Structure 1
Amino acid sequence: MTTLDVRGRRTGRPLIGSHVFLLVVTVALLAPVVWALLSAFKPADEIVRHPLVFDPAHLTLANFRGMFQDVPLGSGFVNTGVVLVCKGAITMFFAPLAAYAFAKYRFRGQNLIFGAVLLTLMLPTIVLIIPLLLEMKELGWVNTYQALILPGSVDAFAIFWMRQVIAAVPDELLDAARVDGCGEFGIFWHVILPAIRSGLAGLGVLTIMNIYNDVVWPVVAASSSRMATLQVVLVTLAQNISGHKVGADYATITGELLAAASIALVPLLILFIVLQKHFINGILAGSVKG
């Protein structure tokens, strides 16, 4: 492979440097993931004594058996699934709807309201935790699905993302639909949504990843083990994994942690492998305004 210089002439220099750089970055990103997956099948003491050595002859499922006995991973998956479906559905419906209003309508105070929405992006999550927790307490929603689902279900980033995508849809399509007698919500449903499928796919993948990996708010809003999401289970695993195993050592805890983390990683890997094309197209759709 050859490259062209600024004058369009072939330089004859292969892109070896770029390929080597990308290979190094790929290895650096994947190495911790591969190590965690392989180490989950190693004996617990071997993980601590020889963390970088992997002997296929010593494969074991002991870490997984111990983890399933001590960790409520099943309830964590169920709670995460409920929150993911409900909160994701709210985000994927109301965020494009709000973005449609900002992108295609003109009303008094539009820029001021949209600026206020974007301003919330600058607020650290930790600043909002205490007010939200007090609100959940007044509503009686602490340790309930409502507390896990409703706060932050329509965030400013999702609205901004979809506004950029919807703004690229030609206004002529909307005018043609109005001439044909289509109502405003009908235009959104039958014209806008089919035209922004790539952007919706990208937002969907990001939404799933954000909800699946969220830990700060679920730790505060759902302190009981009954309502703990998967990430909360993983975060608190080191503290409560020895609850039924008196004298559990560091190696055992480490092995079970890696086993639980490996299982939690599988859904996201499958999601990205299956939807990577839509994710990339969605990123491109939301990065430019036509």
Structure 2
Amino acid sequence: MTDTLSRTATNATTSVPAPRSTRRRPHLRLGTHLFLMILLVAFLAPVAWAIVSSFKQPNDIIRDPLGFDVSTFTLDNFTAMFQDVPIANGFLNTAIVLVVKGGITLFFAPLAAFAFAKYDFIGKNLIFGTVLITLMLPTIVLIIPLLLEMKALGWVNTYQALILPGAVDAFAIFWMRQVISAVPDELLDAARVDGCSEFGIFWRVVVPVIRPGLAGLAVLTIMNIYNDFVWPVIVASSERMATLQVVLSTLAQNITGNRIGADYATVTGELLAASSIALIPLLVLFIVLQRHFINGILAGSVKG
């Protein structure tokens, strides 16, 4: 009797049709993957074309933009570009600003966010609300006051002007506050019981826990500083202090000014060479840190 009931239950179980969602799931996955592959090709095709074309002869870029012959590839565009444009100086200035300004952001923004997330003090919500309001101000509105301030301090065409304004921005504080809010208070209380100082709690307990969010903020900070153009082109107008993006913006004028008779094809080839070199650091950064960036995005989405 038991064997009969078991066989009947087994047959009933196997005869139940699979839900429609389960049967359709492979088709949905195939469609999703196909759509993502199309997006991938659409995004990477211009980048691949620019990099490949930078190795072509200038006249070949204009005559046959989509064609390429490996046997005709040359480094002439890169050699001429380094001679005509101070791109190495732009890389150096950008690297200095990136290291110092990025370090200030990644240290002080989590520290301020820790205070907003884990401490109660008078005016806390008012101060944090004021910080958030600054996110609504367009950058163009702040340029003139900041420029006048830099002039009064004598910081025009200096690293101080490139680094300090906006080093600790409202978005970084808001991002890290959301991440730190998810850290259990019990961890902090246990550290206090063990005699740890408040800064020690932040450095030894909070920072190791929020590493994914901190990594995501680091990627965004590096990208923002590396691609920043409006403020550097205004406050650092001299060639000595020009960052990479400022150098790239004046690249065509520098090429035509330094080379007599430079035609459109020559300028285009050197522009592609400079753009390819400028693209490589960010491309490598994202490929290496994409896992941390995605984890940081998810960590930053935690509701505080």
Q: 1:7 to 1:231 in 2, by over 3 A?
A: same
CA RMSD of aligned residues (A): 1.6
Q: 1:235 aligns with which of 249, 261, 269?
A: 249
| Alpha-carbon separation, structure 2, partners of 1:79 and 1:253 | 24
Once the 2 structures are TM-superposed, how far is the Cα of residue 205 of structure 1 from its aligned partner?
Answer: 0.9
- Paired residues in the alignment total 287
Structure 1 residues 16-55: aligned runs within 5 Å: 16-55=30-69
Residue 256 (structure 1) aligned with residue 270 (structure 2): yes
Q: 2:225 aligns with which of 211, 227, 236?
A: 211
Query: Counterpart in 1 of 2:167?
Result: 153
Residue 76 (structure 1) aligned with residue 90 (structure 2): yes
**Normalising by structure 1, what TM-score?**
0.95
Residue 102 (structure 1) aligned with residue 116 (structure 2): yes
Residue 123 (structure 1) aligned with residue 137 (structure 2): yes
**Runs of 5+ in structure 1 lacking a partner?**
none
Larger Rg belongs to: 2
Residue 86 (structure 1) aligned with residue 100 (structure 2): yes
User: Does structure 2 conserve the Cα–Cα contact (< 8 Å) formed by 1:37 and 1:262?
Assistant: yes
| Alpha-carbon separation, structure 1, partners of 2:98 and 2:109 | 16
| Alpha-carbon separation, structure 2, partners of 1:152 and 1:44 | 40
Once the 2 structures are TM-superposed, how far is the Cα of residue 55 of structure 1 from its aligned partner?
Answer: 1.7
Once the 2 structures are TM-superposed, how far is the Cα of residue 106 of structure 1 from its aligned partner?
Answer: 1.1
What is the letter of the counterpart of residue 191 of structure 2? A
Q: 1:7 to 1:169 in 2, by over 3 A?
A: farther
Give identity over the alignment, percent. Answer: 74
What is the letter of the counterpart of residue 120 of structure 1? T
After superposition, give the CA deviation of every residue in 1:49-95 in whole Å (9 maximum; x if it has no partner): 22111121211111111101001011111101100010001000000
Q: 1:11 to 1:271 in 2, by over 3 A?
A: closer
What is the letter of the counterpart of residue 105 of structure 1? Y
User: Does structure 2 conserve the Cα–Cα contact (< 8 Å) formed by 1:5 and 1:11?
Assistant: no
| Alpha-carbon separation, structure 2, partners of 1:245 and 1:184 | 61
After superposition, give the CA deviation of every residue in 1:224-253 in whole Å (9 maximum; x if it has no partner): 000001111111111222221112111111
What is the letter of the counterpart of residue 106 of structure 1? D
Q: 1:244 to 1:18 in 2, by over 3 A?
A: same
Residue 11 (structure 1) aligned with residue 24 (structure 2): yes
Which has the larger share of helix? 2
Residue 199 (structure 1) aligned with residue 209 (structure 2): no
| Alpha-carbon separation, structure 2, partners of 1:232 and 1:121 | 25
Q: 1:139 aligns with which of 126, 130, 153?
A: 153
**Normalising by structure 2, what TM-score?**
0.91
| Alpha-carbon separation, structure 1, partners of 2:191 and 2:244 | 45
Once the 2 structures are TM-superposed, how far is the Cα of residue 10 of structure 1 from its aligned partner?
Answer: 2.8
Once the 2 structures are TM-superposed, how far is the Cα of residue 123 of structure 1 from its aligned partner?
Answer: 1.0
Deviates more, 1:142-151 or 1:4-13: 4-13
| Alpha-carbon separation, structure 2, partners of 1:93 and 1:282 | 16
After superposition, give the CA deviation of every residue in 1:243-289 in whole Å (9 maximum; x if it has no partner): 21112111111100100110111111111111111111111111123
What is the letter of the counterpart of residue 10 of structure 1? R
User: Match of 1:10, SS?
Assistant: helix
